[in-house]
């Protein structure tokens, strides 16, 4: 069973509890093979089809199709099923080439004192201020794409010439309290900037402030990042992904793998996940992606970090301090610092090292060799 440790209580919660948590907020998610080797979470009754196979798919499944949503830019369609077939979406996808379930991706924090994702609801414990990263501007630019919850105009970012705010959604469920993963992207961006102060950050919001996303949304974010870079005439040198998923067949979701194959000129870095397991976590487990585990202050791999031959590197990911945004009364925002733990915060550390190596004139291959030597995964 997929699980995560709540560091406030020591309680180990499984994917079923997370599904119930998100269902409370109206998200219809299906737990496939509960407790089994193929356990994964998908959008109930939702299939993804590429444009070239959509017509044959509709011909085969038309009597069970409730709705089809096209995205002409992505050349993808979401096919929504009706009735009892909604619970068969994973099996139906297995039976049909070019068709896939829409897997749910989890954000990857294990919280120490910050808003707790896994169950306690504890208030944030403010972290001491850390020095603002230098106002550097590398030439030529090194561009890092960050796919997360957004990036607020924290003082660390707002006066930098490249900054384009992607405001955090702090209270998506409208319960007058900050969501458990709100501020995550601002935090991740701060980790990057602490260790690569001259980098240009380009942010795409793909991760919900409740802590999850899906294949379709991540692919849409990657393609939007690619298209925006082309419009600016710039190259995205490094991409950071801080969420991931398990699948029924332990293979990468097809649309995600196909999209990442288009990023061969960039270094893609992804969090290895926090389940403390060796089961592949996608997209981190792709050979073309740098998978990052987390280490503690003693340099040992953190208990919560995923592991296995597919994990490439491990960087500090326990009690990391970085920029944070906090909701105040009346819907205001307060900028400060927080302490957070997880492979989500180890991944930007490695991405920053890659960006710095590229800035220093190293090739992509040499940069990868450098980070594997500097941040080896040893368990």
Kindly state the tokens that stand for 65.
């199709």
pLDDT higher at 128 or 261: 261
**Tens-place pLDDT, residues 29-64:** 999 999 999 999 999 999 998 888 888 888 888 899
Domain that includes residue 229, residue range: 106-374
| pTM of the complete model | 0.92
Domain count, the chain: 1
Q: Is residue 280 domain-resident?
A: yes
**pLDDT at residue 175, rounded to an integer:** 76
Strand 76-81 relative to strand 99-107: parallel, antiparallel, unpaired?
unpaired
**Tens-place pLDDT, residues 279-320:** 999 999 999 999 999 999 999 999 989 999 999 999 999 888
Is the pLDDT at 123 greater than 90? The verdict is no
- Active-site annotation, residues: 148, 184, 344
CB-CB contact of 24 with 210 (8 Å)? no
Mean pLDDT of the chain: 89
Q: Is residue 322 domain-resident?
A: yes
Beta strands in 64-148, from DSSP E residues, in sequence order: 65-71, 76-81, 99-107, 109-110, 143-148
CATH of the domain at 202: 3.40.50.200
**pLDDT at residue 125, rounded to an integer:** 55
**pLDDT at residue 108, rounded to an integer:** 58
Q: Is residue 52 domain-resident?
A: no
CA distances for 348 relative to 55, 125, 258, 296, 333, angstroms? 41, 22, 23, 16, 24
Q: Is residue 199 domain-resident?
A: yes
pLDDT > 90 in the chain, percent: 69
How many Å apart are CA 5 and CA 318, to the nearest integer? 13
**pLDDT at residue 115, rounded to an integer:** 37
- Asked if the peptide bond before residue 46 counts as cis, ω within 30 degrees of 0, the response is no
Strand 109-110 relative to strand 76-81: parallel, antiparallel, unpaired?
unpaired
Q: Is residue 183 domain-resident?
A: yes
Q: Is residue 81 domain-resident?
A: no
List, in sequence order, every residue forming a beta bridge with 201; answer none if it has no partner.
Answer: 144
Q: Is residue 30 domain-resident?
A: no
Strand 99-107 relative to strand 200-205: parallel, antiparallel, unpaired?
unpaired
How many Å apart are CA 275 and CA 256, to the nearest integer? 21
CB-CB contact of 346 with 271 (8 Å)? yes
Least confident residue range of 49-58, 117-126, 228-237, 339-348: 117-126
- 200 phi and psi, to 5 degrees? -100, 125
Query: What one-character DSSP code corresponds to residue 274?
Result: S
**Tens-place pLDDT, residues 193-210:** 999 999 999 999 999 998
């Amino acid at each position: 069973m997929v699980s995560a440790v709540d560091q406030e209580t020591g309680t180990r919660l499984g994917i079923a509890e997370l599904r119930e948590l998100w269902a409370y907020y109206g998200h219809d998610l299906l737990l496939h093979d509960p407790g089994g080797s193929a356990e994964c979470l998908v959008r109930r009754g939702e299939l993804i089809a590429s444009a070239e196979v959509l017509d044959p798919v509709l011909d085969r499944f038309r009597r069970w199709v409730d709705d089809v949503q096209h995205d002409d830019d992505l050349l993808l369609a979401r096919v929504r099923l009706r009735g009892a077939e909604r619970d068969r979406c994973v099996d139906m996808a297995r039976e049909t080439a070019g068709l896939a379930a829409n897997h749910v991706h989890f954000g990857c924090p294990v919280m120490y004192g910050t808003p707790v994702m896994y169950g306690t609801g504890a208030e944030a414990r403010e972290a001491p201020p850390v020095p603002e990263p230098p106002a550097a501007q590398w030439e030529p630019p090194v561009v890092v794409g960050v796919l997360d919850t957004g990036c607020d105009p924290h003082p660390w970012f707002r006066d930098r010439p490249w900054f384009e705010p992607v405001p955090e959604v702090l209270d998506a469920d409208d319960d007058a309290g900050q969501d458990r993963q709100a501020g995550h992207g601002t935090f991740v961006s701060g980790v990057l900037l602490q260790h690569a102060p001259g980098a240009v950050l380009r942010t795409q919001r793909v991760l919900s402030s409740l802590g999850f996303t899906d294949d379709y949304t991540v692919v849409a974010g990657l393609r939007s990042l690619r298209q925006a870079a082309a419009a600016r005439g710039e190259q995205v040198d490094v991409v950071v992904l801080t969420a991931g998923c398990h699948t029924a067949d332990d293979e990468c979701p097809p649309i995600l793998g196909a999209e990442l194959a288009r990023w061969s000129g960039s270094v893609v870095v992804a969090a290895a996940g926090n389940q403390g397991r060796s089961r592949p976590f996608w997209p981190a487990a792709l050979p073309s992606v740098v998978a990052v585990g987390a280490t503690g202050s003693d340099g040992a791999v953190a208990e919560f970090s995923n592991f296995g031959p597919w994990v490439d590197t491990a960087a500090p990911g326990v009690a990391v301090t970085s920029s944070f945004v906090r909701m105040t009364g009346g819907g205001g925002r307060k900028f400060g610092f927080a302490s957070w733990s997880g492979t989500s915060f180890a991944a930007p550390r490695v991405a920053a090292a890659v960006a710095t190596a590229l800035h220093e004139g190293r090739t992509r291959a040499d940069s990868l060799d450098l980070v594997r030597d500097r941040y080896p995964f040893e368990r």
